[in-house]
Chains A and B, each alone.
Chain A
Amino acid sequence: MFTYYLELALRSLKRSPGLTALMVLTIAFGVAASMTTYSVFRAVSGDPIPWKSSKLFVPQIDMWGPNGRGSDGEPPDAMDYNDAVTLMRDHRARLQSAMYQISPSIVPADASKHPINVSGHAVYSEFFPMLDVPFLYGSGWSTDDDTQRAAVVVISSKLNQKLFGGSNSVGKTVNVEGKDYRVVGVLNDWNPQPRFFDVVNSGGFSTGVEDVFLPFQRAISVGIPNDGNTNCNAVPTESGFVGLQHSACVWIAYMAELDDAAAVIAYKQYLDGYAHDAQQSGRFGWAPNNRLRDLPAWLDNQHVVPSDTKVSLLVALGLLLACLVNTAGLLLAKFLRRSSEIGVRRALGAPRMAIYAQFLVEAGMIGLAGGVLGLLLTGVGVASVGWVLPKDIAALARVDISLLLITLLVAVIATTLAGLYPTFRASRVQPAWQLKSN
């Protein structure tokens, strides 16, 4: 029976090619617009580390007091050197790392080549296991390397390609800012988006690759300066990078892994105790006002998903809705025009259900055709989204199997829905009246 309805639908669509093309185009337009923006939205609102994000926490300490809080009473979104190092020393979470953004120069061994400027982070050894960072060769450095300020480095596969032609470079040396570092690990492709471990400096999304990771205390002791944001509540009393370390300026990101609810409560108590002690000692003149957010809450708090992306998704959904109303109107016109045909079929004994089936199949076919065309347009849309959106965000939008399936499903379901009322009207046609009027 289904094939018969298909045949009927095809025949009816062929009879008015203009109207059919119009409906297919409308659906394709609406679906493509909403799917393109959805692909961007999905890319920016995705969880960068879904298997672990609920265990990763970002502590915030209110070391500036009421005067330095935002209008919403939030403490600073990064830490000063003193607090970050104290938290690392107390080591109350299972894994944790303070980190800051660096941008050192790498001097190639071949003296004829120019030095290159790379970006990366100074981190603690626990950074790598905490974030499940994938290694191609070697591994991260040890806790001893942290404390001994060892001259070790982890490099990206891209930098490894550039410096060592992609071979296993573990044990070889790299010249960073004029000093030799031993390579202990080479990362496999690792470019999480958003850059969740340091949202404050990357703004969430970044087209650049993290090329080098150095031990935090090593980078501090050789004076590799902070390349990220620095926020000060008061002018530092000493100049330079050392002055920054002694100041109350915030520039260090911090992340801790807390595996269960008890650990979270214990850590929160520890933070409050820390702030309370600072209040007792007179360093803070205010009550503890700390925050401990898990990663999804933190990304939300930092507005990592640009509100532009949300507004464009809303606009595109509005466009889809308008397209559907349009299609519903056209389908209604098309179906009601065939009242006499319906009348004949009903008079010959076709039940209402049969009319329903026939017309829904027709609507579904239009939806399918619209969906296929919409897929092509979505492909074009995603490919050209870089023209419209910032490159770092546009680069994330991708067409994959799930997007293809969603596009087709949305098109078919939406068109069938749009066809529901027109079909209902068609099935209500009075056979006797239609026959008589002919």
Chain B
Amino acid sequence: MDILPILSTLRRHKLTSWLLILEIALTCAIVCNAVFLIGQRLQRMDMPSGVAEHELLQIQVADVTSPSNPYARLAEDMAALRQVPGVLSVASSNEVPFGNSSSNGNIRLDPAQPERTLNATTYFGENLVQTLGPRLVSGRDLQSDDFVDVEAALKGLSTGDSKSLPHVTLITQTLAERLWPGQNPLGRIIYLTPTVGLRVVGVLDSLARPNAYDQAKAQYSMVVPLRMGADKDLSYLIRARPEDRANVLAAALVALKKVDPQRVVTMQRSFDEVRRKFFQDDRAMAGMLVGVIVALLIVTALGIVGLASFWVAQRRRTIGVRRALGATRGNILHYFQTENFVLATFGIALGMVLAYGVNLFLMSHYELPRLPGIYFPVGAVLLWLIGQLAVLGPALRAAAVPPVVATRSV
């Protein structure tokens, strides 16, 4: 198909052509950036937690009258929970991955170092690794004689008595690699304060932090053998088979109420809910962007249909003359298809420039990364396809124009 006659026709309809090009360009720019934003969100929502997500339950209770001995209460609660049928394992924890509320510590590799090396979250509580379920890559798990009570540890911190301080820790693979790239982390010491040095005894494959906002630092977690007493900020984590979870949760609440009928349950949820809640903004944004893309593509397609129909109606006579002079239906069909392809190509070229500009703007204002090159060809193919689909109807109508039209005066 010869492209020159098409170009010369378009030159006669400069404005309409430009409007179509502009529309395709705008669509291209918005769709490229929106798809990119969606990709970003999906990637974030896919962030691994390192725990057995479909098997976990989290419960928090607040006691109206504080128990006289929170440690005895903790033991009592844990024992009551272990009795619940269907419970595979029970842990107490100060925090959960993606739970938002977190304890964090500044890590130094040398106690005399003035600035921290990095900031990592500190998980503490009993039986955490077995219940949460991250895999131990090397070393050993925490043992019961590693554990110290939080109150004793704080006292030890102020008196300088190192016996009541924790001495060991588990860290994630990512954290180990960040602190000692390419070396064996086992046996190395990290300092939370100049006097609290923790020896790494085990490495976990993955354990996300509760405040995993920054993907690069999402795995900076450590598990410290500290025991907390029963408290409203302490979570009980229960592991049960996925299909048992609803029943186990109900029975667990009854068991906890039996220990103290006056207590208030302030949180009860499955880990699936924890993840859903943590990433709800990302899911929302992705959903909205999908809606916008679909709307935009429909609007653009309809716009192409409208303009192409107008063109066909306007050129009925010309089409008739061409048919009378021997052009086949296929020739006419191809003419309109090629015309649309040419316009779409101009639009896409302009759209790429626009998309790049929009991305630069977003990068400078909303801390987004650069648009990867792969989005350009994908966006181009998508718009070419939509253009061809939209023009097909009007082009078929054009091809159906009978040659006899040429002989009529109006």
- Interface of A toward B, CB cutoff 8 Å: 19, 22, 25-26, 29-30, 33, 37, 67, 103, 105, 107, 114-117, 177-178, 225, 233-240, 243, 306-308, 310-312, 315-316, 318-319, 321-323, 325-326, 328-330, 332-334, 336-337, 387-390, 421, 425, 438
Establish whether residues B151 and A26, one from each chain, have CB atoms under 8 Å apart when the complex forms: no
User: How far is B158's CA from A238's CA once the two chains are assembled, in angstroms?
Assistant: 7
Establish whether residues B16 and A388, one from each chain, have CB atoms under 8 Å apart when the complex forms: no
| Interface membership of B405, Cβ < 8 A | no
Establish whether residues B193 and A235, one from each chain, have CB atoms under 8 Å apart when the complex forms: yes
Contact of A329 among B193, B266, B307 (CB under 8 A): B307
8 A-B residue pairings within 8 Å (CB atoms) = A103-B62, A107-B64, A319-B292, A319-B295, A326-B306, A329-B20, A329-B23, A336-B314
Distance of A24 from chain B, by nearest CB (Å): 12
B-chain residues with CB within 8 Å of residue A114 when the two chains form the complex: 264
Establish whether residues B62 and A235, one from each chain, have CB atoms under 8 Å apart when the complex forms: no
Establish whether residues B302 and A22, one from each chain, have CB atoms under 8 Å apart when the complex forms: yes
User: How far is B274's CA from A180's CA once the two chains are assembled, in angstroms?
Assistant: 36
Count residues on chain B whose CB falls below 8 Å from chain A CBs: 61
Establish whether residues A178 and B65, one from each chain, have CB atoms under 8 Å apart when the complex forms: yes
Contact A239-B34, Cβ < 8 Å, known A26-B299, A315-B289, A329-B303: no
Q: Smallest CB-CB separation from B302: which chain A residue?
A: A22
Establish whether residues B264 and A326, one from each chain, have CB atoms under 8 Å apart when the complex forms: no
User: How far is B262's CA from A33's CA once the two chains are assembled, in angstroms?
Assistant: 50
Contact of B16 among A103, A308, A316, A333 (CB under 8 A): A333
The total of Cβ contacts below 8 Å across the A-B interface reads: 147
Contact A116-B264, Cβ < 8 Å, known A318-B30, A329-B23, A333-B16: yes
A-chain residues with CB within 8 Å of residue B314 when the two chains form the complex: 336-337
B-chain residues with CB within 8 Å of residue A243 when the two chains form the complex: 154
Beyond the given A103-B232, A225-B232, A390-B281, please list 10 additional residue pairs across the A-B interface where CB-CB is below 8 A.
A178-B65, A307-B366, A311-B285, A311-B362, A316-B292, A319-B296, A329-B20, A330-B307, A387-B287, A389-B288
Distance of A421 from chain B, by nearest CB (Å): 7
B-chain residues with CB within 8 Å of residue A67 when the two chains form the complex: 114-116
User: How far is B264's CA from A177's CA once the two chains are assembled, in angstroms?
Assistant: 12
Distance of B279 from chain A, by nearest CB (Å): 11
| Interface membership of B401, Cβ < 8 A | no
User: How far is B135's CA from A306's CA once the two chains are assembled, in angstroms?
Assistant: 36
User: How far is B22's CA from A409's CA once the two chains are assembled, in angstroms?
Assistant: 25
Establish whether residues B262 and A330, one from each chain, have CB atoms under 8 Å apart when the complex forms: no
Contact A234-B284, Cβ < 8 Å, known A333-B16, A421-B15: no
Contact of B150 among A115, A239, A307, A334 (CB under 8 A): A239
Q: Smallest CB-CB separation from B280: which chain A residue?
A: A390
| Interface membership of B186, Cβ < 8 A | no
Residue among A114, A239, A326, A390 having the largest count of chain B Cβ atoms under 10 Å: A326
B-chain residues with CB within 8 Å of residue A325 when the two chains form the complex: 19, 22-23, 26, 303
A-chain residues with CB within 8 Å of residue B253 when the two chains form the complex: none
Contact A33-B16, Cβ < 8 Å, known A235-B196, A311-B37: no
- Interface of B toward A, CB cutoff 8 Å: 15-16, 19-20, 22-23, 26-27, 29-30, 34, 37, 62, 64-65, 105-106, 114-116, 150-151, 154-155, 157-158, 192-193, 196, 232, 262, 264, 266, 280-281, 284-285, 287-289, 291-292, 295-296, 299-300, 302-303, 305-307, 309-311, 313-314, 358, 362, 366-367, 410
User: How far is B289's CA from A388's CA once the two chains are assembled, in angstroms?
Assistant: 10
Distance of B405 from chain A, by nearest CB (Å): 16
B-chain residues with CB within 8 Å of residue A321 when the two chains form the complex: 26
Contact of A315 among B292, B311, B367 (CB under 8 A): B292
A-chain residues with CB within 8 Å of residue B157 when the two chains form the complex: 235, 237
Establish whether residues B154 and A322, one from each chain, have CB atoms under 8 Å apart when the complex forms: no
A-chain residues with CB within 8 Å of residue B281 when the two chains form the complex: 306, 308, 390
Establish whether residues A322 and B302, one from each chain, have CB atoms under 8 Å apart when the complex forms: no
Distance of B350 from chain A, by nearest CB (Å): 12
User: How far is B22's CA from A237's CA once the two chains are assembled, in angstroms?
Assistant: 65
Establish whether residues B285 and A322, one from each chain, have CB atoms under 8 Å apart when the complex forms: no
A-chain residues with CB within 8 Å of residue B299 when the two chains form the complex: 26, 29-30, 319, 322-323, 326
Establish whether residues B284 and A389, one from each chain, have CB atoms under 8 Å apart when the complex forms: yes
Establish whether residues A318 and B193, one from each chain, have CB atoms under 8 Å apart when the complex forms: no
A-chain residues with CB within 8 Å of residue B305 when the two chains form the complex: 22
Establish whether residues B154 and A310, one from each chain, have CB atoms under 8 Å apart when the complex forms: no
B-chain residues with CB within 8 Å of residue A22 when the two chains form the complex: 302, 305-306
Q: Smallest CB-CB separation from B266: which chain A residue?
A: A117
Q: Smallest CB-CB separation from A203: which chain B residue?
A: B100
User: How far is B64's CA from A316's CA once the two chains are assembled, in angstroms?
Assistant: 49
Establish whether residues A234 and B193, one from each chain, have CB atoms under 8 Å apart when the complex forms: yes
Q: Smallest CB-CB separation from B155: which chain A residue?
A: A239
Establish whether residues A26 and B302, one from each chain, have CB atoms under 8 Å apart when the complex forms: yes
